[in-house]
Structure 1
């Protein structure tokens, strides 16, 4: 096998630019079919991206013997069933984040992979973007000395520009998204913290909806990592536009690293000297990750984000929103 033939289950807003085109632009990849419950929208996506086949049911893709792997880009409520069906059908899976509605469902996916011949990667794609790879390099090189703690602040107004646009506001419905805007954005931050700092002892948090809505508007949490590093974070989705913030600061004994999860600049301040590193993300921001996934599915590389890694992130999210 010299390339992976793909099908997309859920060709909606996320697949439009961030990920979808990468499946047919990469040399070791071919996108054969796409699916969306609204057949006319599936057809529209397929024709604009010159995809030969479109459907309004996942079985048409899963039953196609030519398709090697599927990208599941539906809302989280359907991740579990589609993933179990794909594993049963013998298809490799690239699964959008968050992995599932909660840790119980994520555990079911992990269990289903035991003994299966299929492979699965979760789309924590920031792992392969240059800014966050630079942060990891700075940490590995001890540029700020011994790491002490990290501070995350994701403060957004109700109409945050960070939230992907969709036909329906399903991200605000916990039964579909898992909990709200926190569940849409926090996997990006929490996965990187786990990537940088390793295994953790415990995670605790609090969450609340100030307007008595179903979805949490404020989430606070802290993670105690086994290496002694602590990470604290606050996510709020009801601040004034002027107070919006997207920042992480990692403090060490000799300095600090500052970056944005949705930006392209990393600043390292060490002993009073400021070093600024600027990057440019690819147009299709998931393309580097999808390239690594192709290599993994072809047996030419390691798993860029295993189910075990994504399960940890899901457990932390559950711990931060346990009172909800």
Structure 2
């Protein structure tokens, strides 16, 4: 399979190019950047044969059958729609769009064209999270009562830019991290948040966008979820806690792009540290995506998963803005 990269991004160079090339028979043929010189430099540094500054030219390049979109958030919808119209399968970074309506349009376009559409929610591809989900599914925690997500970090200098000062591009911690945590909660609990209550602030990094947010989510089953995301916490650590009637699970250092972290479970018999497979998260996601194209299974996170995580994040943003509880609107999905 030949790939085109829409966006000469850090995540593409640090994670996705290697993950694509790790799949048997997969190659990266072209990259798109709005800055021709930057695109050519990116292509040279990463051994990519072709660089384009025009989307149509990339989509018309011979042999490309799939694209990976990692541009700024406001560009995703138009670029994905153009790719679907050109008959390309799409793996898109989160959030899929800036509105749930636009995400729904993307989902329906892919469905109508018979193409695979996936969201790059890498955390559900982690060996740690797969092991946690299995523990819950096997009933090791009993009936789940509550879940806490702590994902307050220090945003690295080279990733700041538009994320800390450009609301129009989809900047802010909610679009960047809360959307990931929404998918992680859905992945583990198997249900969609119903109502959220949130507060957000700019605590030193955000300029015109929020850089810290806390929220509480109500699930249809009655499970309570507490979530904390930030760009400004250098020493907080990250992870999740899941508490049930028969045990509690504590996972630290697992909200990351790397296969790291520890998982412990405490129940009436004491505390046990769990082992898990430490595979590459992005390679796992790429394998699922390519198998879905071949008609075997589904992507790790499909377009509807991306739509729903976006819907939760937008509800959190609205609740923080309006100072009241907000029902999550999934537009019928």
Name the residue aligned to 1:165: 158
Name the residue aligned to 2:35: 38
User: 1:62 is matched with which residue: 56, 59, 64?
Assistant: 59
Structure 2 residue 50 is matched with structure 1 residue 53: yes
Separation (CA, whole Å) in 1 of partners of 2:41 and 2:169? 25
Gaps of 5+ in 2: 322-333
- Report Cα offsets for 1:181-211 as digits up to 9, x if no partner: 2321222221111011123361212233346
User: 1:235 is matched with which residue: 216, 219, 229?
Assistant: 229
Structure 1 SS opposite 2:214: strand
Name the residue aligned to 2:285: 289
Instruction: Output aligned runs, 1:259-278, within 5 Å.
Output: 259-260=251-252, 261-262=255-256, 263-278=260-275
Contact 1:5 1:67 in 2 (8 A): yes
Instruction: Output aligned runs, 1:1-324, within 5 Å.
Output: 4-156=1-153, 160-161=154-155, 163=156, 165-166=158-159, 169-200=161-192, 202-210=194-202, 213-239=207-233, 241-242=234-235, 244-260=236-252, 261-262=255-256, 263-279=260-276, 281-282=278-279, 285-322=281-318, 323-324=320-321
Contact 1:155 1:237 in 2 (8 A): yes
Contact 2:173 2:213 in 1 (8 A): no
- Report Cα offsets for 1:260-295 as digits up to 9, x if no partner: 31242211112252221355745x641110111111
- Report Cα offsets for 1:27-78 as digits up to 9, x if no partner: 0422111111222222222223322111122211111241111000111110
Shift of 1:315: 0.7
Contact 1:21 1:49 in 2 (8 A): no
Structure 2 SS opposite 1:60: helix
Provide TM-score, normalisation by structure 1: 0.88
Contact 1:28 1:294 in 2 (8 A): no
Separation (CA, whole Å) in 1 of partners of 2:238 and 2:283? 23
Gaps of 5+ in 1: none
Shift of 1:257: 0.9
> RMSD value over aligned CA atoms?
2.2
Provide TM-score, normalisation by structure 2: 0.86
- Structure 1 residues 65 and 217 mapped into 2: Cα distance closer, same or farther (>3 Å)? same
Contact 1:173 1:180 in 2 (8 A): yes
Separation (CA, whole Å) in 2 of partners of 1:248 and 1:281? 18
Separation (CA, whole Å) in 1 of partners of 2:230 and 2:248? 24
Contact 1:26 1:291 in 2 (8 A): yes
The structure where helix makes up a greater share of residues is: 2
Contact 1:75 1:176 in 2 (8 A): no
Structure 1 SS opposite 2:16: coil
